[in-house]
């Protein structure tokens, strides 16, 4: 059998799809020199002894997660009553999806995949909303949370993958046909590895794009497009950040949780502008996850910062996992078990 590599695919993902080991792919495709080699779109691979996997959910963490995986799950999500909406497009014109469950008046917003090397957060949020829809449909409890009743009060909006171009770059590297080939190599000083990349495809950090002390953060950060931390020439120059801005403006979120991956901590303040109830809320999130609450990271320009400043409502940055980004695919199991309760408790924070 032959497989032609799609955008956002890796050796681990292709092996998982066919139910074989990454090592088997190397055996029959001698042009691949290691399990972590990049495989560019259009590459032809020989597949042998495959047992096709019908389960799109890789709970054990055998493979990475990107836009193509999210899009594969969308038809299933729709069939379960999950709302699927395109809220904008990335620089490379990939759709940015918002998924919605629940019927209630309390609107809550979860987002992930802001940084290119933090795809665990995208996978977590996608699988979380799928489980939520399933429990709602079956009227089942989940960890003693009565989901159907909860979703009568709550509408949860989730954007699992804010930065699809960036995630694909981290997973697949750069190749001649890539429309940003020259710019990316220049920004990356000629290096061809992208594990450290967290920006979008134009070298702008999407969590540095927000009008909350933006000037302060911009001054202390790189002054030109870069793999990380470049704030752009002004707030909201990037289409991915604009899409989140519009979505936030169109809704009336009671509070927001933005998921990132590094440190197992929860940031909950912004220059003292956060409301008093944020303190009690973060205590509850921390109890459910054992992540440490930290008032502020002494930084500006983030989405959570802007949300707090703009609305006066609570905003949280959840840092899942610990180690070096990108965390290994195997780390997903721990991310899942540490964050399910936190994300469930996040649906009830309005209820004191």
Sign of CA dihedral 199, 200, 206, 207: negative
Stretch of 20-28, 133-141, 155-163, 253-261 lying at the interface with Zn ion (CB under 5 A): 253-261
Report how far residue 172's alpha carbon sits from residue 93's, in angstroms, rounded to the nearest whole number.
17
Stretch of 9-17, 24-32, 64-72, 116-124 lying at the interface with Zn ion (CB under 5 A): 116-124
Q: Which string of b and e fits 193-213 if b means at least 16 CB within 10 Å?
A: ebeebbbbbbbbbbbbbbbbb
Q: Does 115 bind Zn ion (CB under 5 A)?
A: yes
Closest to Zn ion by CB, 162 vs 281, is 162
Give the contacts of 349 (CB within 8 A, at least 6 positions apart): 254, 255, 281, 284, 285, 314
Stretch of 10-18, 59-67, 111-119, 333-341 lying at the interface with Zn ion (CB under 5 A): 111-119
Q: Phi/psi zone of residue 51: left (φ > 0), alpha (ψ -120 to 50 degrees), beta?
A: beta
Site for Zn ion in 27-66 (CB under 5 A): none
Site for Zn ion in 148-177 (CB under 5 A): none
Nearest distance from C-beta of residue 154 to Zn ion, angstroms? 25
319 catalytic residue (yes or no): yes
Closest to Zn ion by CB, 100 vs 264, is 264
Query: Which burial class, exposed, middle or buried, applies to 189 when counting CB atoms under 10 A from its CB (0-12, 13-18, 19+)?
Result: exposed
Q: Does 228 bind Zn ion (CB under 5 A)?
A: no
Give the contacts of 139 (CB within 8 A, at least 6 positions apart): 147, 148
Closest to Zn ion by CB, 107 vs 205, is 205
Catalytic residue among 7, 240, 274, 319: 319
From the list 3, 260, 304, 309, which residue makes contact with Zn ion (rule: CB under 5 A)?
Answer: 260
What would the two tokens of residue 193 be? 């590895």
Closest to Zn ion by CB, 134 vs 294, is 294
Residues designated as active site:
319
Q: Summarize as ranges the residues that interact with Zn ion (CB under 5 A).
A: 115, 118, 260
């Amino acid at each position: 059998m032959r497989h032609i590599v799609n955008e956002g695919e890796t050796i681990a993902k292709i092996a998982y799809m066919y139910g074989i080991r990454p090592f088997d792919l190397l055996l029959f495709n001698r042009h691949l020199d290691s399990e972590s080699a990049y495989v560019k779109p259009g590459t032809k691979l020989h597949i042998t002894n495959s047992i096709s996997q019908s389960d799109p959910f890789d709970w054990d963490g055998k493979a990475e997660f990107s836009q193509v995986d999210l899009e594969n799950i969308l038809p299933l999500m729709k069939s379960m009553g999950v709302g699927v909406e395109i809220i904008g497009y990335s620089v490379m014109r990939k759709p940015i999806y918002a998924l919605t469950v629940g019927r209630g008046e309390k609107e809550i917003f979860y987002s992930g995949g802001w940084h290119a090397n933090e795809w665990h957060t995208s996978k977590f949020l996608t699988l979380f909303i799928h489980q939520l829809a399933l429990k709602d449909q079956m009227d089942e409890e989940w960890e003693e949370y009565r989901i159907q009743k909860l979703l009568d009060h709550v509408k949860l909006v989730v954007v699992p993958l804010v930065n699809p171009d960036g995630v694909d770059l981290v997973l697949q590297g750069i190749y001649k046909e890539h429309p940003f080939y020259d710019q990316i190599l220049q920004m990356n000083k000629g290096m061809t590895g992208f594990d450290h990349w967290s920006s979008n495809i134009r070298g702008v950090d999407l969590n540095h794009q927000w009008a909350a002390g933006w000037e302060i953060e911009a001054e202390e950060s790189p002054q030109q497009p870069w793999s990380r931390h470049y704030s752009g020439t002004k707030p909201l120059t990037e289409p991915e950040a604009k899409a989140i801005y519009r979505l936030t403006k169109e809704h009336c979120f009671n509070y927001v949780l933005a998921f990132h991956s590094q440190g197992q901590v929860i940031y909950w303040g912004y220059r003292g502008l956060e409301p008093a109830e944020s303190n009690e809320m973060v205590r509850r999130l921390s109890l459910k996850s054992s992540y440490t609450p930290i008032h502020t990271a002494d930084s500006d320009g983030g989405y959570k910062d802007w949300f707090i400043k703009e609305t006066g409502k609570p905003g949280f940055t959840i840092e899942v996992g610990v180690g070096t980004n990108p965390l290994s695919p195997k780390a997903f199991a721990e991310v899942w078990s540490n964050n399910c309760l936190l994300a469930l408790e996040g649906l009830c924070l309005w209820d004191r």
